[in-house]
């Protein structure tokens, strides 16, 4: 693997990966992949056309016959080799994550660790494609229920954790016996696309089983979702786009698997350990510049400790180094592009115009957006209701637990959350009242484990991922009955 700064000199990784071959796209348009920190060109891709998407899906469909004939142990070995390849090439992958998406070194190593965990979990899937025998009310009949792959899965990955969130669907789908076509976000075609193809190519996955198409939606429209071959579409991204993906998928009778946006609340009760709570709240909001769907946009703090918490939170946020993600001391690098930075600045300005009080106003320089903290916000304000995909936090005081629950639940989203208290039973009781898919006691809102159900409620998603839940997402069940007696019929 070559250093990401030199990738444009090579042919393999700024092309499509279709049918086991690196090929240029057949569309006229060119996608320019830029470094979000300095604007330099990381790579250029000739976009995939609708015909390329069609060939990618047909390739995945054809290659499944070879994959079906591979033993579970040999399939597992592919994922073990993939993990070894990632571990062996960690320095180069870190460079890609830094250059392509502005991730810091800390973030890059964190993301690679998540990928390794996901590959290890996926490697167990070939041995979990079980058959069950169920009893029958009809004498002589034996009922068998087989778990089988859905066939081909289309995966659309996001720009914030592209290597991991692409792998989060790709690896389990492949391990469950499916073919896969992956379309990464246009801002991260390498980390979210061609890098994953490279990993599995090196691991010995059958040619054509995994395909990667690099393109713009303006070029292919809804063809990726509408194509007749895929039976499931896994999408990670914004709720607005996810809603459209789901509508198109369901209209074409495909299973949508959606991990969408969030507006998570971190609740600090009066008896919380403030040292832990402040650190958790800062980590929950400012990790990867706040570009995490699980980020704690809203930090709800009991009024008895609000002033002390706010003072410490603002001081810590203000101290976080912002700048070049290649600097190992940098904690906050750039937002993914200027459009995202401008949108976030507009959201902050609108919140202030609506009456929010500024505790910390970070300067904005290009795509660098320094930490900003608001208070004096009310549930109806836009900054409380919209996902703030960047380093902007709202601090909200509350007087009672019922009030905290009401504020936390007053959002169309429901992905993650956290509760800080010295009374663990109380924390769990309060967590169960939150309308969200995941809640963490005395911890960050940002958490993921490869064998634990991950997903949201309301506009934060549809379905669950990881472990048994990913296995369910990318498989179907078939009932086959065997009549060992003599069947009788009424006519």
Angle subtended at Cα 368 by Cα 365 and Cα 370, rounded to the nearest 5 degrees: 95
Within 184-302, strands assigned E span 210-212, 232-236, 255-259, 265-268, 298-302
Give whole-number Cα distances, 16 to 20, 33, 205, 211, in Å.
10, 14, 17, 8
Cβ atoms of 175 and 79 within 8 Å: the answer is yes
Nearest to residue 187, comparing CAs of 158, 163, 209, 212? 158
Nearest to residue 330, comparing CAs of 363, 368, 300, 364? 368
Nearest-angstrom CA–CA distance, 23 and 484: 54
Tell me whether residue 293 is one of the annotated catalytic residues: yes
Place of tokens 């789908």: 173
Judged by phi (left if over 0) then psi (alpha if -120 to 50, else beta), residue 280 lies in alpha
Cβ atoms of 265 and 417 within 8 Å: the answer is yes
Of the candidates 259, 386, 387, 401, the residue annotated as catalytic is 259
On the CB side of 156, CA atoms within 13 Å amount to 28
Go through the chain and tell me how many residues it has.
491
Give whole-number Cα distances, 333 to 52, 186, 248, 281, 445, in Å.
35, 19, 35, 19, 20
Of the candidates 186, 293, 387, 401, the residue annotated as catalytic is 293
On the CB side of 169, CA atoms within 13 Å amount to 33
**Helix, strand and coil in the chain, % to nearest 5:** 40, 20, 35
Nearest-angstrom CA–CA distance, 216 and 381: 34
Instruction: Tell me the longest C-alpha to C-alpha distance in the chain.
Output: 83
On the CB side of 29, CA atoms within 13 Å amount to 15
Nearest-angstrom CA–CA distance, 371 and 321: 10
Within 281-329, strands assigned E span 298-302
Tell me whether residue 47 is one of the annotated catalytic residues: no
Nearest-angstrom CA–CA distance, 295 and 315: 19
Instruction: Tell me the catalytic residues.
Output: 259, 293
């Amino acid at each position: 693997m070559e250093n990401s700064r030199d990738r444009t000199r090579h042919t393999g990784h700024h092309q499509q990966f279709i049918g086991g071959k690196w090929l240029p796209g057949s569309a006229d348009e060119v996608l320019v992949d830029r470094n979000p920190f300095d604007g330099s060109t990381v790579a250029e891709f000739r976009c995939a056309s609708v015909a390329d998407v069609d060939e990618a899906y047909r390739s995945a469909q054809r290659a499944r016959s070879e994959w079906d004939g591979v033993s579970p142990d040999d399939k597992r070995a592919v994922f073990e080799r993939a993990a070894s390849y990632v571990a062996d090439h960690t320095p180069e992958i870190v460079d890609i994550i830094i250059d392509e998406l502005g991730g810091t070194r800390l973030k890059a190593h964190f993301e690679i660790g998540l990928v390794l965990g996901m590959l290890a979990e996926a490697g167990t899937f070939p041995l979990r494609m079980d058959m069950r025998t169920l009893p029958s009310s009809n004498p002589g009949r034996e009922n068998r229920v087989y778990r089988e792959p859905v066939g081909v899965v289309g995966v659309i990955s996001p720009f914030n954790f592209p290597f991991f969130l692409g792998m989060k669907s790709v690896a389990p789908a492949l391990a469950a016996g499916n073919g896969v076509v992956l379309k990464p976000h246009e801002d991260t075609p390498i980390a979210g696309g061609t890098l994953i193809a490279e990993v599995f190519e090196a691991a010995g996955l059958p040619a054509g089983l995994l395909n990667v198409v690099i393109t713009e939606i303006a070029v292919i429209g809804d063809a990726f979702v509408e194509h007749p071959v895929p039976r499931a579409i896994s999408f990670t991204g914004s709720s607005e786009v996810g809603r459209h993906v789901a509508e198109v998928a369901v209209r074409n009778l495909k299973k949508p698997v959606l991990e969408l946006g969030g507006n998570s609340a971190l609740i600090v009760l009066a008896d919380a350990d403030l040292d832990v709570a402040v650190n958790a709240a800062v980590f929950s909001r400012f990790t990867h510049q706040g570009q995490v769907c699980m980020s704690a946009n809203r930090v709800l703090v009991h009024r008895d400790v609000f002033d002390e918490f706010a003072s410490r939170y603002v001081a810590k946020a203000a101290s976080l180094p912002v700048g070049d993600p290649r600097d190992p001391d940098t904690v906050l690098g750039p937002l993914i592009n200027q459009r995202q930075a401008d949108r976030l600045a507009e959201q902050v300005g609108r919140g202030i115009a609506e009456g929010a009080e500024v505790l910390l106003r970070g300067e904005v320089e290009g795509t660098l957006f320094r930490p900003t903290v608001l208070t004096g916000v009310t549930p109806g304000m836009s900054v409380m209701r919209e996902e703030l995909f960047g380093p902007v936090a709202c601090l909200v005081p509350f007087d009672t637990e019922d009030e905290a629950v009401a504020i936390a639940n007053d959002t169309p989203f429901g992905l993650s959350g956290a509760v800080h208290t010295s009374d663990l039973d109380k924390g769990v009781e309060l967590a169960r009242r939150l309308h969200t898919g995941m809640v963490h006691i005395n911890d960050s809102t940002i958490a993921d484990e490869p064998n634990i159900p991950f997903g949201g409620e309301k506009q934060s998603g549809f379905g669950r991922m990881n472990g048994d839940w990913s296995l369910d997402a990318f498989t179907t069940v078939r009932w086959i009955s065997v009549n060992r007696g003599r069947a009788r019929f009424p006519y």
